[in-house]
Amino acid sequence: MAGVVFATLLTIVVTTTLIRTLGRAASGKADGELVLPLIGLSSMTSLGLILSLTAFIAVLMVLSRLWRDSEMVVWLASGRSLADLVKPVLQFLWPLVVGVAVCSLVVSPWARQQSEALRQQFETREDAKRISPGQFRESSSGQRVFFVENPDEESSQLGMVFVVTRSPNGGESVLMAAEGQFEQGPDGEPWVNIRRGTRTDFSPVLTGPSDKALPTVRTMTFEGYRLRVDAAPGGAAIDPSVRAQPIGTLMMAPGNQQRGELAFRVGLPMLCLLLGLLAIPMSFVSPRMGRSFHLIFAFLVTMTANNLLTVSQAWIAQGRVSFAMGWWPVPLALAVLMLVLFWWRMGLRRGPMEWMWLGLRRLKGSV
């Protein structure tokens, strides 16, 4: 059962990630050659939550089946209680809890760090590698826009070329050519050699008493024209985000954002353990209710717990609460809810008639 649930949830996550990544690649925001690595890394960041949901749903569905088949009636009639299910459920949960802890503390930060490195490598590539057929692309300096038609990566040949260059003084230059080709200079600098085209320059000129800038237009035709292409920008690597930092860095850093991320990573394994135990009293299926009613309620509880864990992370990161006061309320609330449901399902509470009868007996005894 756990394997089926895990495979189903993983398929949903991978499919969603595939659609999002393909959309980014189609719009030029991601490299098409890195689609599969990005999908794998993004799925690895969700393994902790997937394992938590797997533990909860697997325990819930198995015990619900026992209630529907009246096997729990036999279990309770033989003198056992719901509390006796805690030990076998814990034996099933502890490998998943360890897996969630490893994913939350080690795997997910590493996957996010690798994903950010791939995105940074894609964003800082040179202009020759930025160009995509049939799409407008901005240069790394932000001063030039390219449009090429059907480039051939093997021969570096380009189809129709359209280039708009903005100068610091506000002028613009528009280049249109029938064909072009990428070349490398003597120092390895990238150039594009375009042929049979026109160049139109728009230069602002101050004229009149109000010094209003009026553009002057100059057009020229050429058989050959060489244009310098921006190389890949250098500089130091960008520091990884808080979510991509390893656990040791988070524990040593004094910042609120690091403390908030630490609270989330520590809370996720506890969420897996408590949700798995919470599934024991929540697995009760009433014949008067639909089979999926408790599953809907369980899904709402899971999403609420995960959202509250995210809210506590945000509050700690914003400095609204301290780490000492922000990491434990959500696990404590789940533990209290679990104990209340155990108390309710095990019949340890008194009904209204029992409280009335007990009050009458005490009143009679006092008289």
DSSP string, 172-195: EEEEEEEEEEEEE-TTS-EEEEEE
pLDDT at 305 over 50: yes
Say what the pLDDT of residue 93 is.
Answer: 94
User: What tens digit of pLDDT does each residue of 255-275 get?
Assistant: 888 899 999 999 999 999 999
Distances (CA, A) of 110 to 114, 116, 196, 244, 269: 6, 10, 50, 6, 18
The answer to whether 140 and 130 have CB atoms below 8 angstroms apart is yes
Could you give the percent of the chain with pLDDT greater than 70? 74
**Confidence band for 237, pLDDT divided at 50, 70 and 90:** very low
Cα angle, residue 144 at apex, residues 143 and 149 outer, rounded to 5°: 170
- Cβ atoms of 166 and 172 closer than 8 Å: yes
- Residue 151 predicted with pLDDT over 50: yes
The rounded mean pLDDT for the chain is 79
Nearest to residue 309, comparing CAs of 280, 341, 268?
268
When pLDDT is averaged across residues 62-84 and rounded to a whole number, the result is 83
Bigger pLDDT: 211 vs 314: 314
Unique residue bearing structure tokens 């990428």? 182
Instruction: Name the H helices within 199-238.
Output: none
Residue 271 contacts by C-beta under 8 Å, 6 or more apart in sequence? 52, 305, 306, 309, 330, 331, 334
Of the listed ranges 33-47, 282-296, 307-321, the least confidently predicted one is 282-296
SS3 276: helix
| CA-closest candidate to residue 126, choices 237, 228, 24 | 228
Of 93-97, 155-159, 355-359, the range with the lowest mean pLDDT is: 355-359
Give domain limits for the chain.
Answer: 2-123+239-362, 131-228
Closest to 261 (Cα-Cα) out of 330, 326, 320: 326
Query: Of the segments 30-34, 38-42, 142-146, 346-350, which one has the largest average pLDDT value?
Result: 38-42
**HSE of 312 in the Cβ direction (CA atoms, 13 Å)?**
25
Q: How far apart (Å, rounded) are the C-alpha atoms in residues 331 and 305? A: 9
Conformation bin of residue 322: beta by default, left when phi > 0, alpha when psi is -120 to 50: beta
- Cβ–Cβ < 8 Å for 93, 272: yes
Contacts of 23 (CB under 8 A, 6+ apart): none
What distance in Å separates the CA atoms of residue 222 and residue 199, rounded to the nearest whole number?
8
Which of 161-175, 210-224, 311-325 is predicted with the least confidence, judged by mean pLDDT? Answer: 210-224
Phi, psi torsion values for 55, nearest 5 degrees:
-60, -45
Instruction: Return the percentage of the chain with pLDDT > 90, whole number.
Output: 21
For range 300-309, the mean pLDDT: 87
**Surface-to-core class of residue 223, CB atoms within 10 Å of its CB (0-12 exposed, 13-18 middle, 19+ buried):** exposed
What average pLDDT does this structure show over 186-190? 68
Q: State how far the alpha carbon of 269 is from the alpha carbons of 235, 237, 314, 353, in Å.
A: 39, 32, 18, 42
Among 119-128, 150-159, 334-343, 351-360, the range scoring the smallest mean pLDDT is 351-360
Pairing of strands 212-228, 190-207: antiparallel
Q: Which of 50-54, 113-117, 139-143, 199-203 has the highest mean pLDDT?
A: 50-54
What's the CA gap between 104 and 262, in Å, rounded?
Answer: 10
Answer yes or no: is pLDDT of 354 > 60: no
More confident of the two residues 153 and 201: 201
- Taking the CB of residue 199, how many other CB atoms lie within 10 A of it? 19
So what's the pLDDT on residue 236? 41
Which of the 8 DSSP states describes residue 351? Answer: -
